[in-house]
Every structure is written in C-alpha cells, then in structure tokens.
Amino acid sequence: MKIKPEYKLREVSGMNIVVSTAGMDFQGIITVNETAKFIWRMLENGAEKSEIISALAKECNVSEAEITADVEEFLSTLEREDIVE
C-alpha cells in the first residue's frame, strides 16, 4: 500500500495537513495527528499493514494487539477516500 503521489503531508502552523498537488477540491481541510503522520510516512515508502503495526507498536511501546484496530481504521479511511494505491 502506498500514498498516491498527488497527496502530500505538510506541516502548517504546527498542524499536519494533507494537500493535493493535483488540485483536488476537498470539502474542508484534512488534518492528521502525530500517529497518523507516522503511518503516512511509512505509507509513502510502500509499507504494508503488518510492517506499520509492528513499527508503530515499537514506537509507542505498546503491543501490536493494542493498536491493530486503530491502524486498520485509518488505512480503511485512506482507501475509502482513494488516497492510497
């Protein structure tokens, strides 16, 4: 899974904002928290779900079981919004 090239994550005034270089018309601003930013950066490099879960669990010092549902929910949102390929 990988973030589509036309989507970029930028920091603006301390907020992580998703922007589209293809001129997509968003209905509002897409912001992400630090955890989502961590996942996003992994997806930019083509990480798979299992790699993301493992790395995030290590980063947050929690078990993979504790974060799996949240990671899956975020990935589902990205798929539903057609941000990943």
pTM for this one?
A: 0.89
Q: Flag whether 16 is in a domain.
A: yes
Domains held by the chain: number: 1
Q: Residue 62 phi/psi, 5° resolution?
A: -135, 170
By percentage, how much of the chain surpasses pLDDT 70?
93
Q: Residue 15 phi/psi, 5° resolution?
A: -110, 145
Farthest CA pair distance, the chain: 39
For 30-63, how does the pLDDT look when each residue is reduced to its tens digit (9 = 90+)?
899 999 999 999 999 999 999 999 999 999 999 9
User: 18: helix, coil or strand?
Assistant: strand
Q: Which domain holds residue 17?
A: 7-80
CATH of the domain at 22: 1.10.10
